[in-house]
Every structure is written in C-alpha cells, then in structure tokens.
C-alpha cells in the first residue's frame, strides 16, 4: 500500500511540474495545429490521454491535463463538451490499467501478484474502448458533414 501511495504522490508531483512549466500545453498546441475536424480532434485527444498516461502514470492527470488543454479546441470547433468528456473518460481512465508503471497497473499487479506485462494481453476493455472512442469521433464527424447534428 505504501508503494501505491508513494507512486500517487510522485505522479501528482510530476503532473504539477508538467503544468507549471507548460510542457503538456506546448505538446497539445503542436498537436492541435494539425486538427481539422471532429475525428482528428478525437484522435488527438485520445493520443494525448495515452501520452500523459505513459508519461505520468496517473489517470486523474490523464483526464485533467488533456481536458484543460483541448477545451478551447472543442469550443473553437463549436463542438459540445460532452464529446470531449466522453473521450477523456474512455481513453484517459481505461488505458491507465495497462501502463505497467501507472498507479492502476502497480495496484493490479500487486493484487494479482503477477507482472503487469503478463496481464496486458488479457485486458480487452482498455483496447476496445479506446478504439471505439476514436471511431465514434470519426463517425460523428461524418454525420456532421452530412448536415445532421453532432449530438
């Protein structure tokens, strides 16, 4: 338990440093320059969530940092924030379980007493929900170009 708690404290500290020195903001700005539609924005948000999970290993930060960073992009494209929160929840929280050095990965590994790399092939949910979240962004983008609503 102490290992999980210390990992959470270190991950949140690293997240605070990334916010303070605008590291995530610069990365998101570069990614956002290439976004043209809802599908691309969904893909960029999902990839940023995965990147933050890999970098920090804390699912709270994998939701908060991309959410704060992409809020203006969703508003700029006149998209409802519900779409953004759906991607953040689906990808940011689910992918954390399959990152071996993340808080969830360490907890699951300690609870099952197996290396996180051994249970990743059996973790279907994080992969499936990530693929479906990105696909829904492209489907809704296609529906929006047909003249229908994005909601």
Task: Give residue-wise pLDDT tens across range 138-151.
Answer: 887 655 555 554 45
**Model's pTM, two decimal places?**
0.80
What is the separation of C-alpha 12 from the centre of its chain, rounded to a whole number of angstroms?
16
Q: Phi-psi region for residue 148, left (φ > 0), alpha (ψ -120 to 50) or beta?
A: beta
Task: Give residue-wise pLDDT tens across range 82-141.
Answer: 889 999 999 999 999 899 888 888 888 888 898 888 888 888 999 999 999 999 888 876
CA distance linking residue 130 with residue 147, whole number of Å: 26
- The percent of residues in the chain predicted with pLDDT above 90, rounded, is 21
pLDDT at 129: 95
- pLDDT band per the 50, 70, 90 thresholds, residue 4: low
């Amino acid at each position: 338990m102490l290992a999980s708690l210390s990992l959470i404290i270190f991950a949140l500290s690293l997240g605070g440093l990334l916010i303070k020195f605008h590291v995530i903001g610069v990365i998101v700005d570069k990614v956002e320059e290439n976004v043209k539609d809802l599908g691309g924005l969904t893909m960029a948000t999902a990839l940023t969530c995965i990147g933050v999970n890999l970098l920090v290993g804390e699912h709270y930060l994998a939701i908060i940092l991309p959410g704060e960073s992409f809020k203006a992009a969703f508003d700029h494209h006149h998209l409802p924030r519900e779409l953004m929160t759906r991607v953040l929840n689906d990808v940011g929280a689910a992918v954390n379980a399959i990152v071996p050095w993340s808080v969830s990965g360490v907890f699951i590994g300690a609870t099952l007493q197996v290396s996180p790399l051994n249970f990743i092939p059996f973790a279907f949910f994080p992969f499936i929900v990530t693929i479906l979240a990105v696909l829904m962004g492209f489907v809704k983008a296609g529906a929006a170009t047909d003249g229908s609503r994005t909601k």
